Structure 1
């Protein structure tokens, strides 16, 4: 069962939920391996970044999802040249629904692999927000992308960046219609009374998350009931959507709910 703030929704697959959050599109064949592209961040240095692009077959134009990795980066620990199973799994699901999926690599492009245990973090959510602005500009120039149908999707550190971006205005001719955040850190936005989402925002979080806890997100959703849809998964911890990751403790983390540096993460089927 899914626990939904302001209502109860019966169990759905994550793929069905994804199709529901975004506008409907025809089912297409699964994507091949992503294409590597280069684009510039919208930061002060116009930093050159790598991006990984999945796209459906055909000329388009297709709606696009800009997807932001978490603090452990974009790549698999077992195969450093491949995107992690979670990122590839979600990209394949979205492509089958008819979406271009673009992963900006905010870490390796700057010589960083992982920031989960680093304090202060060498790549902040603010810098990542600038990376997304650059990704939006790049996507808007591609003939196979519909610049009026963009969405944001992020996990953990990337999800916190999504919340930051939900409060920002877009350049003319570009429309980010929706944002989806898996287990973001909501506390900073709860404390910032000036923050408010300008686009519909869905937050998905495990009720037992002890890394980025659900309670601040609950309170944030209560503050903006018309703009934020909060879905809680009872019994689930951080990283619940990653394929085949047994629940286990992680230690030495830079930021956790308890302040002890320990939290749990793993799949919740």
Structure 2
């Protein structure tokens, strides 16, 4: 019985986390699938000689919503192009299916969507109006999980639907900026760390009941031990989806305009620094508790 239980556990791990029984495709095949599902916005004004710095936006489990568009407009106004990833249309996941299936813990999980992050960065590198050497990743909730798992992708921990992770896909990625990412069971950061030293900032509620901040603290501590420059900002007195001005206004998902303006200003300032000087400054504190 013990041997049988052990075998079942191994098979369950292989099915859920290892992707042993999932069909795998090449990056070129994923690129072809995602090509028509990356929405690109170019800033107004004169294009820099190397193209515009580019922010890859990876929305959460409901896909691109009103607040992602607001973020995109603010980022464009700051002189950055945006590439918004739609991971769900190619998978024929629409409307209420996203809420009932993905948001409640169903598939696809973050390590499956991670290939869309890699593909979006690759697509951005192929466009002359985008600067492949100045790319920043922004992810919300499930999208933040996907970004983190993409950055953990290497020979040991790659997306379960990808045959091989390109060794140079993140060469132009300067930073990742993540909003209330999921870091719990199935997320690979705490276990595997990141393959690349990509400075990262995380913004989330200090007592979030949708994604537990404690596991994100552990993940951030793992990154810091691995010398990845990491800053985790925990905010009290707000809800999980604090920057969402258009959906699910409830006791656990309410828009906080003041905090959203504050975080957006911090992010725009960060992007401005990255656009001017790709070489980052000294290590930042791992956790900042903000009221």
TM over 0.5: yes
| Alpha carbons 2:193, 2:223 under 8 Å: kept | no
Q: Radius of gyration: which is bigger?
A: 2
| Alignment of 1:117 onto 2:115 | no
Deviation, 1:245, is 5.0
CA 1:108–1:244 in 2, change beyond 3 Å: closer, same or farther? Answer: closer
After superposition, where does 1:55-204 map in structure 2 within 5 Å?
55-57=42-44, 58-60=46-48, 61-74=51-64, 84-113=65-94, 114-118=97-101, 121-168=106-153, 170-171=167-168, 174-188=171-185, 189=187, 192-196=190-194, 198-204=197-203
- Tell me the equivalent position of 2:205: 206
Deviation larger for 236-245 or 89-98: 236-245
Distance in 2, Cα, partners of 1:191 & 1:93: 29
| Alignment of 1:54 onto 2:54 | no
Deviation, 1:171, is 1.7
| Alpha carbons 1:156, 1:182 under 8 Å: kept | yes
- Tell me the equivalent position of 2:269: none
Deviation, 1:221, is 2.3
CA 1:239–1:52 in 2, change beyond 3 Å: closer, same or farther? Answer: same
More strand by share: 1
| Alpha carbons 2:67, 2:246 under 8 Å: kept | no
CA 1:43–1:224 in 2, change beyond 3 Å: closer, same or farther? Answer: same
Segments of structure 1 that go 5 or more residues without pairing to the other structure are: 1-39, 75-83, 250-263
After superposition, where does 1:195-234 map in structure 2 within 5 Å?
195-196=193-194, 198-225=197-224, 226=227, 227-234=229-236
Segments of structure 2 that go 5 or more residues without pairing to the other structure are: 1-24, 155-166, 258-291
CA 1:127–1:244 in 2, change beyond 3 Å: closer, same or farther? Answer: closer
Deviation, 1:233, is 1.3
| Alpha carbons 2:193, 2:222 under 8 Å: kept | no
State the TM-score, normalizing by the size of structure 1. 0.68
- Tell me the equivalent position of 1:79: none
Deviation, 1:68, is 0.5
CA 1:267–1:245 in 2, change beyond 3 Å: closer, same or farther? Answer: farther
| Alpha carbons 1:100, 1:145 under 8 Å: kept | yes
| Alpha carbons 2:117, 2:146 under 8 Å: kept | no
Distance in 2, Cα, partners of 1:173 & 1:89: 26
More helix by share: 2
Deviation, 1:222, is 3.0
The one of 228, 242, 254 equivalent to 1:266 is 254
Q: Over the residues paired in the alignment, what is the CA RMSD in angstroms?
A: 2.7
Q: For residues 95-121 of structure 1, give each alpha carbon's deviation from its aligned partner in whole angstroms, at most 9, with x where no partner exists.
A: 111101101111122210243321663
- Tell me the equivalent position of 1:25: none
- How many residues align structurally? 207
State the TM-score, normalizing by the size of structure 2. 0.64
CA 1:44–1:245 in 2, change beyond 3 Å: closer, same or farther? Answer: closer
- Tell me the equivalent position of 1:7: none
